[in-house]
């Protein structure tokens, strides 16, 4: 309700989002009948770029990893996907350990 004329017809003044490089304004309200500003719009000053660092993720056998990234709303440095580890490496290690085990057994046999 308008405190000036008592009208219930209140209009919303839409705000705009503040971005890294542009100021924004908050949402306001004014009376349609007399134009009384019920809620004034306020300027939200842009703070400039504020980077947030996103830590790198180590790849595992189950999940892809990613390199470190930086963003502030939008990506500044987009992380790159590191493909998940494959079973091949795992398999090769297991085979080598079996061979290592075989050698001393043969040496002992002679």
- Contact residues toward Zn ion (CB under 5 A) are 2, 4-5, 7, 20, 31, 33-34, 36, 49, 72
- Residues 33 and 7 sit within 8 Å (Cβ to Cβ): yes
The least distance separating Zn ion from the CB of residue 2, rounded to whole angstroms, comes to 3
The least distance separating Zn ion from the CB of residue 55, rounded to whole angstroms, comes to 19
The string over 17-26, giving b where at least 16 C-beta atoms fall within 10 Å of a residue's C-beta and e elsewhere, is: ebeeeeeebe
The least distance separating Zn ion from the CB of residue 82, rounded to whole angstroms, comes to 25
> In the complex with Zn ion, which residue's Cβ is closer, 31 or 69?
31
What is d(CA 17, CA 26) in angstroms, rounded to the nearest whole number? Answer: 8
């Amino acid at each position: 309700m308008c405190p000036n004329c008592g009208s219930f017809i209140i209009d919303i003044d839409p705000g705009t989002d503040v971005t890294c490089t542009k100021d924004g304004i908050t949402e306001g309200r004014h009376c349609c009948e007399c134009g009384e500003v019920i809620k004034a719009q306020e300027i939200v000053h842009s703070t400039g770029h504020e980077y947030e660092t996103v830590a790198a993720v180590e790849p595992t056998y189950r999940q892809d990893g990613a390199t470190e990234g930086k963003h502030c709303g939008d990506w500044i440095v987009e992380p790159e996907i590191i493909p998940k580890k494959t079973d091949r490496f795992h398999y090769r290690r297991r085979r080598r350990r079996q061979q290592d085990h075989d050698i001393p057994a043969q040496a002992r046999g002679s």
